[in-house]
Structure 1
Amino acid sequence: MAKVNRPQVSVEDHERLARKLGVSSAGEELTVEELRRVIDTSDDEEFASMGEAVRDELRGELDDDLIERELSELATQLQRLPEVREAGIPDGETEPETLYRELVAPGWRIYDHLVETGFFESVEAALPRFTPEHIERTAHGLIRSEPLAAALEECGFDERERTVLVMNVVNNNNRLARWTPTKDIPDEVEFNVEDVPPLQQRAMGGSLLWVKNLDIHLWQKKFLITDEILDDGYWDVKAMLGGLYVMATAAHAIATDGSLSDEQLAAALSASTAIMITNQEEIVKDMFWITEEMRKPSTLR
């Protein structure tokens, strides 16, 4: 089997995470379990209020059976990722086989349901835009939420990978700040704001589109693709689907009125958005923008 790269994390990444969360790393790798023991465990009433607002707005609107069914299927697809990486590039003589598109099939069904029910509009209305303070509080909520950690573990994220997802949230202040909620886009921009979906919809829909397009992209560019490109993209895909899984888990908690507290719900919605946004940008650099330095050497040279 091909060697699947785990997410690459530097000492500096861990130090930045520790610094922003106000804990000591002592030059060692941090884990979510260790962070849970040392971070502030005080209740966040503002986050609880946000979660309550979303829950109240969407109560009775979401189909818990549909979301539960597709969450199970999404977990199955996440478990298939090593198999997909082993295949590498889709086969096919005249068109690519369905490889990556199968990974996102349950995600699309979840996405369509959330669009139909106004889920994204309700979430964006309740959550603020990304600021350093909001990102830090989101990370605290994500770390403290044992149900979310358990859900990610069940669908194939080990301790190190769960920690990297927290890093996706905490260590990307500037990147996340560039993604403006639709409600905050000024009227004087040169496009119709009414055509811009809510931020959370852009995060989920964009993630699904990037993964969906990998079949045709890799098949068309197969003479350029290296194992390193595939390995780097493996984590980007897994992280985006993990973010989607967290958001869908939050939606299921709303539909069933359980499993997550209001505070955990707000943290899950905010963190999942951040994870999907961050890794959308990463997959562009890792798999789609293939530079001369990245590409497989030409056999014609």
Structure 2
Amino acid sequence: MVQHNSRPISEKERREFLRMLGVGGTVAVGSASIDDVREAVTGQQSNELASVGEAIRDDLAGSVNADLLTQVQRNLAVTASDLPAVVDRGLPTDVTEPREEFTPLAEAVQPAYDHLVDVGFFESTSENLPEFTPAYIEESVRRFVATDSVANLEELGFSKQEQVDLLATVASHRERIGDRHWVTTDKLKRGDVQFAEEVPPMTKAATGGALLWLEDLDHHLWQKALLLTDDILADATWDARAMAAGIQLVTEGARHIAEQSETFADDELAGVLSSGYALQAVAQNLLREDAYWLTEEKRADRTHEDIALPGGDSL
């Protein structure tokens, strides 16, 4: 049984993450915790992020329900913190129907998603957030790391070291996000859009897409259990946790807008929102590759006799 609950991150990826934050020479790569990183990072203000955060805050002032978002964050934290146990339980090969391990994440988030749709949150964030270039992602993550909002990751069950690995995954995919997965909606070429009359705002597509993956994952793992391995389950669980982290950060930003917090600066708001959406984008694409695109090299070398049915029989 695989006992890891995080995506394997190489020393090179950690080193690149620390270099991106400008602390490569002051934080030990192998044992780096988020506290070590935060202590070394300087929280310099960003004018670009400040203008983005100010515009979003002005758009949505007075329209967001802080109490609803606070409750959703609590529910999501409870549900997500249980996910590491999924790896210990192993693949659902001994049950007659899918387990409900990832669907509760989507159910916990749905009230916040519906509310943010109603108040125009996704339209505002899509209109005001710029294209996610590598440089913009670097600046956003750097600003996020310097904020107290990092504590949200620990509430979801991420250890201090896992938080570094989580953000290092975003850092190592920042070129890919900009090249393939995140351009502003108004820059999409209509000729490239197929099978849809309407292109949703990019931020709505990010969060809505994450919910769809989470809603499907339990059934997929159960239906394809014969083809999957414990490593695939562990990677899929990590990807789901990363999606939950991204959603939690977006709701954190929205909650601060609702509370009109003067201690949460505009550039901090933009950094938290942008980091949250980057996490969602990366995790969705990794989940597809990790658990849904099954090559001959990845799939399990298992026969029907290896699958136990309830009661002790085999297929």
TM-score, length-scaled by structure 1: 0.90
Instruction: Provide closer, same or farther for how the CA distance between residues 48 and 111 of structure 1 changes in structure 2, counting only shifts above 3 A.
Output: same
Q: Is the 8 A contact 1:89 1:215 kept in 2?
A: no
Q: Which runs of 5+ in 1 are unaligned?
A: none
Residue 294 of structure 1 aligns to a residue whose secondary structure is coil
User: Given the alignment of the two structures, is residue 284 of structure 1 paired with residue 285 of structure 2, yes or no?
Assistant: no
Instruction: Give the counterpart letter for 2:14 in structure 1.
Output: H
Instruction: Provide closer, same or farther for how the CA distance between residues 36 and 96 of structure 1 changes in structure 2, counting only shifts above 3 A.
Output: closer
1:199 pairs, out of 193, 198, 202, with: 202
TM-score, length-scaled by structure 2: 0.87
2:74 pairs, out of 72, 75, 81, with: 72
Residue 15 of structure 2 aligns to a residue whose secondary structure is helix
Residue equivalent to 2:254: 251
Distance 1:40 1:101 in 2: 39
Q: Is the 8 A contact 1:182 1:193 kept in 2?
A: no
Residue equivalent to 1:14: 14
Q: Is the 8 A contact 2:14 2:29 kept in 1?
A: yes
1:117 pairs, out of 116, 119, 122, with: 119
Distance 2:203 2:58 in 1: 18
Distance 1:229 1:210 in 2: 15
The CA deviation at 1:115 is 1.2
User: Given the alignment of the two structures, is residue 298 of structure 1 paired with residue 302 of structure 2, yes or no?
Assistant: yes
Instruction: Provide closer, same or farther for how the CA distance between residues 231 and 194 of structure 1 changes in structure 2, counting only shifts above 3 A.
Output: same
Residue equivalent to 2:63: 61
Instruction: Provide closer, same or farther for how the CA distance between residues 230 and 189 of structure 1 changes in structure 2, counting only shifts above 3 A.
Output: closer
Residue 213 of structure 1 aligns to a residue whose secondary structure is helix
Distance 2:195 2:298 in 1: 38
Alignment of 1:160-179 (within 5 A): 160-177=161-178, 178-179=180-181
Deviations 1:210-235 (A, max 9, x none): 12111211111121122111111111
Instruction: Give the counterpart letter for 2:17 in structure 1.
Output: L
Instruction: Provide closer, same or farther for how the CA distance between residues 241 and 23 of structure 1 changes in structure 2, counting only shifts above 3 A.
Output: same
Q: Is the 8 A contact 1:31 1:160 kept in 2?
A: yes
Instruction: Provide closer, same or farther for how the CA distance between residues 298 and 169 of structure 1 changes in structure 2, counting only shifts above 3 A.
Output: closer
Aligned length: 299
Residue equivalent to 2:268: 264
Q: Is the 8 A contact 2:153 2:245 kept in 1?
A: yes
Residue equivalent to 1:141: 143
The CA deviation at 1:142 is 1.1
Distance 2:5 2:100 in 1: 23
Residue 227 of structure 2 aligns to a residue whose secondary structure is coil
1:234 pairs, out of 231, 234, 237, with: 237
Residue 5 of structure 1 aligns to a residue whose secondary structure is coil
RMSD of aligned Cα (Å): 2.3
Instruction: Provide closer, same or farther for how the CA distance between residues 186 and 12 of structure 1 changes in structure 2, counting only shifts above 3 A.
Output: same
Q: Is the 8 A contact 1:142 1:166 kept in 2?
A: no
The CA deviation at 1:69 is 1.0
Distance 1:60 1:134 in 2: 28
Distance 1:295 1:246 in 2: 34
Q: Is the 8 A contact 2:80 2:157 kept in 1?
A: yes
Q: Is the 8 A contact 2:64 2:254 kept in 1?
A: yes
Q: Which runs of 5+ in 2 are unaligned?
A: 306-315
**Comparing 11-20 with 268-277, which one deviates more in the overlay?**
11-20
Distance 1:189 1:280 in 2: 21
Q: Is the 8 A contact 1:239 1:279 kept in 2?
A: yes
1:98 pairs, out of 100, 113, 124, with: 100
Residue 248 of structure 1 aligns to a residue whose secondary structure is helix
Q: Is the 8 A contact 1:64 1:255 kept in 2?
A: yes
The CA deviation at 1:128 is 0.6
1:132 pairs, out of 127, 131, 134, with: 134
Instruction: Provide closer, same or farther for how the CA distance between residues 286 and 64 of structure 1 changes in structure 2, counting only shifts above 3 A.
Output: same
Aligned-residue identity in percent: 35
Residue equivalent to 2:151: 150
Instruction: Provide closer, same or farther for how the CA distance between residues 23 and 197 of structure 1 changes in structure 2, counting only shifts above 3 A.
Output: same
Distance 2:19 2:7 in 1: 21
Distance 1:144 1:115 in 2: 29
The CA deviation at 1:243 is 0.8
Instruction: Provide closer, same or farther for how the CA distance between residues 287 and 22 of structure 1 changes in structure 2, counting only shifts above 3 A.
Output: same
The CA deviation at 1:279 is 0.9
Q: Is the 8 A contact 2:226 2:304 kept in 1?
A: no
Residue equivalent to 2:160: 159
